[in-house]
Chain A
Amino acid sequence: MKKQILALFLAVGVLAGLLGGCREATPQNSTASSTNAPSSQAPQKAEIAVGIAQDLDDSLDPYQMTAAGTREVMFNVFEGLIKPDSQGNFVPAVAASYTVSTDGCTYTFPLREGVTFHNGKECTFEDVLYSFQTCAAVTVNSSVAAALSNVADIREENGGVVITLTAPDPDFLSMAASVYIVPKDYDGQATAPVGTGPFRFVSRSIQENVILERFDGYYGAKPALERVTYRIFSDGNALFTALNSGALDLVAHLTVDQVESLTNGYQILEGTMNLVQAMYLNHAKAPFDNELVRQALCYAVDVDAMLALTADGHGAKVGSSMYPAFGKYFDSALADRYPHDVEKAKALLAQAGYPDGFSFTLTVPSNYAPHVDTATVIVEQLKEVGVEAKLELVEWETWLSEVYAGRNFEATLVGFDASTLTASAMLARWVTGDGKNMIGYTNPDYDAAYAAARDPAHTEEEQTAYYRQCLEILSDTAANVYLQDLADFVAINPALTGYAFYPLYVMDMSTLSFQ
């Protein structure tokens, strides 16, 4: 009887497989035209539907928004005096150009002519001043707030903005880029944001969509797309189904398994997520206070095998707290500092006083599948050296309050990205006593190297060398079990071109166009 039931399942499975097989033979172009999705008229109306995995559920105010997903979308609406390009350089935006004084304390931004806000108002010095002052006062990004507290004076000079700092700050440009310029005396930013970017905000339907439209008064090159609808899918599987059905034109942050399961003939682009995924270890808790134990875990984990399992080998090993897009600082040699070596791991554990291994709880936020997948594999790999990791999935919000803020964890597997395009965005957090040093890393050598890197007395080359030294220290002391910068797959309607990957977590809609 059991066999018959089994056979029945198999028959049903095979049938479904056949159906799937037949489906592949149908011409791909029917995908977009036979649906009643809004995207079906896309080629004529130059509008696209983009699938995103989380709602823009925080404030849309540029200084209040916190979620990476919100910043990713609003990048198209807001601009600073300068903005990053896809190469990681800063290009003039609201400012026409910029110059830095030789002492590194005075920045001059001549304002561009004819920049208007989405509400039709012209952008003036008053707006820039207001933006900097408001941002300094209310921003939720503590590193931007810290950088702005260093501003001594902002004044108007020959139709430009001159900013004077109390002390030179090598990262000031990237901080300035995150001060979005908004119109003075407009108080609707939280729900109806107004900026100067190539797209203007049209509407937000909770958990349904966010609509942007081309801003025809944009000073720069006008985007080819007239309208971008971000459709929100709180469930990753539903997002995938919608993509596969042709309801969406563009979805980013897919995994290789999803991409390979896709059957709608979309083109696939591969980039990186620009984050450092690692098993972050709480140094305040035994046995992770022991460097030998941490090193043993590094040897026990086989990153290549993990990449093969979770991503068919896609993704870049990192080895320290820096991802490859930061070419200046990234050291690929560190990625192989701890080759997979079970015997060595066992020996180190024995030396540390744990010959029979130990057990710990690995807390992982459940909302992001790739971290859960990685953790699933790591748990199995650690068993080989006798270390039992108990996987505990928590909501992202619980993770934020308990693990990140409360530091109540043993080990956690997440990815850290850079909120600004600076080395310090990745490295400041490991300085002893830093508010964001969730693992409680304490190392005088590291602190000294980091302080030297930040010292304006050093040349840029010297600073870079010190930052690289920081990375080596993190790797040598096995601060965390560093894993990878995840591969970021983008599936895109074959008719669309011009997608650009950024070294930041943003998606630029202004470069996209239909062929």
Chain B
Amino acid sequence: MFKKFSSEDVSSQNQVKASVQRKIRQSIADEYPGLEPVLDDLLPKKSPLIVVKCQNHLNLVMVNNVPLFFNVRDGPYMPTLRLLHQYPDIMKKLQVDRGAIKFVLSGANIMCPGLTSPGGALDDDALAETPVAIMAEGKKHALAIGFTKMSAKDIRAINKGIGVDNMHYLNDGLWKMERLE
């Protein structure tokens, strides 16, 4: 999704009003309970929260010019990979085997066999249509953020086709956008 993404895709930047800010905070806190204690540090109440609207109904939540979360249309908020690397345990993790890393890092969606093979691992609690962190065999850090197409059980049972949509991966446009002016 962020394969080609640059500051040119930004259509507007707005400092949002307090009520919207509260709503965003609330939905992030609901989605990631593990993040709640540090939420005050991440999204300080004092500093302005900026919502960046981009093409394809994409929104970025930005504090101090650093993009922290993104969402599509009214979907769930997902952390950027830089944020996820800091707090790795906030999301459910799915692991792909080593052979898949190359493809994921060029933007491919995650196929079921890559998750069910010996190198992969599945969190059985992962439901369909939720954001998950994509880890890799033998690596400590997440390499992508995905949005599950089917639940972990289905992935195991069907074992065919796209299991997780690749939303954001290492070295894509959003990753390269460390700061946005």
Q: A and B: real partners?
A: no
Which residues of A pack against B, CB within 8 Å?
Answer: none
